[in-house]
């Protein structure tokens, strides 16, 4: 049974530091929360405080907290349920991975492409937040729904993933972003390079659940015209993918 500890009682006795370090704020928040969970200071079955409470405790925005919670989900440490909140599932990490193994050459190709995307797509998301119109809004929402439907149908949602990101670069109103992205087509999505025989259905499903949630945060930031949040959420989305695939290189 999930314990009903309040936000105040959950973090009051714990050592929480305001986040002032340079670098990604969400990473610093996630690191602190992960340590609290893995050290047993927030036990399995207990709820984390609300977003607002965490914002106050860490001195950061809601976007940062959401990114941190998404990272904890990707590690299998917590789950979020509508109307219930975020609860601790386990005290040790279980990484969401798209495949059991990947050919070393393929891994390098994926990492090189993600490195390139990390230099371009955060800027594209920022511009999309500033420049999108009603047609872009409808397209972005439709592509997000299409990805969610493909995920629910237990496919790898490769085309839907690509089209969601292409809708973002389209919303920049910069034709060179679009033409550059068209050259990649679906090959820009790392899962397009994976062999079906190497895909683990269970861990892959958890991985796609994380991608779906990250897309939702990117979409919300863009449609809210929050350019800084759009840039940050896109960067974290791609950087998390890069970190995941880098693990295959170290095997």
68-125 pLDDT tens trace: 888 888 778 888 888 888 999 888 776 677 888 888 899 999 999 999 999 999 999 9
Total residues belonging to the chain: 251
Q: Where in the chain is the domain with CATH 1.20.120.530?
A: 104-249
The two structure tokens encoding residue 23: 């670098």
Q: Where in the chain is the domain with CATH 1.10.10.10?
A: 7-88
Q: What is the mean pLDDT of residues 136-140?
A: 98
Q: What is the mean pLDDT of residues 40-57?
A: 90
Quote the pTM value.
0.74
In three-state secondary structure terms, 196 is helix
Out of 6-10, 135-139, 144-148, least confident range: 6-10
CATH class for the domain made up of 7-88: mainly alpha
The two structure tokens encoding residue 112: 């090189």
Alpha helix locations (H) across the chain? 7-11, 25-38, 51-58, 62-74, 104-131, 134-152, 158-170, 175-184, 201-223, 227-249
CATH code for residues 104-249: 1.20.120.530
**Exposed, middle or buried by CB within 10 Å (0-12, 13-18, 19+), for 106?**
middle
The pLDDT score that the predictor gives to residue 251 is: 63
Q: What is the mean pLDDT of residues 153-178?
A: 94
Tens of pLDDT along 192-242?
888 777 777 777 787 888 899 889 989 999 999 999 989 988 998 998 899
């Amino acid at each position: 049974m999930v314990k009903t500890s309040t936000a105040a009682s959950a973090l009051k006795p714990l050592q929480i530091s305001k986040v002032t370090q340079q670098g990604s704020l969400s990473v610093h928040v996630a690191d602190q929360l992960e340590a609290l969970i893995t050290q047993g200071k927030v036990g399995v079955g207990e709820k984390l405080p609300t977003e607002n409470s965490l914002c106050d405790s860490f001195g950061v925005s809601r976007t940062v907290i959401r990114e941190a919670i998404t990272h904890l989900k990707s590690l299998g440490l917590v789950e979020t349920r509508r109307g219930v909140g975020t609860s601790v599932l386990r005290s040790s990490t279980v990484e969401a991975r798209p495949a059991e193994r990947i050919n070393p050459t393929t891994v390098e190709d994926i990492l090189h492409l993600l490195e390139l995307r990390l230099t371009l797509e955060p800027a594209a998301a920022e511009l999309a937040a500033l420049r999108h119109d009603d047609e872009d809004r409808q397209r972005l929402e439709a592509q997000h729904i299409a990805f969610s439907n493909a995920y629910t149908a237990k496919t790898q949602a490769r085309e839907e993933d690509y089209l969601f990101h292409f809708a973002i670069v389209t919303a920049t109103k910069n034709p060179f972003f679009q033409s550059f992205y068209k050259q990649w087509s679906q090959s820009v999505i790392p899962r397009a390079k994976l062999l079906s025989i190497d895909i683990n259905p269970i861990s892959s499903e958890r991985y796609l659940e994380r991608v779906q949630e990250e897309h939702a945060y990117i979409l919300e930031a863009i449609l809210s015209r929050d350019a800084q949040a759009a840039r940050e959420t896109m960067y974290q989305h791609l950087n998390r993918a890069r970190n995941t695939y880098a693990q295959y290189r170290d095997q």
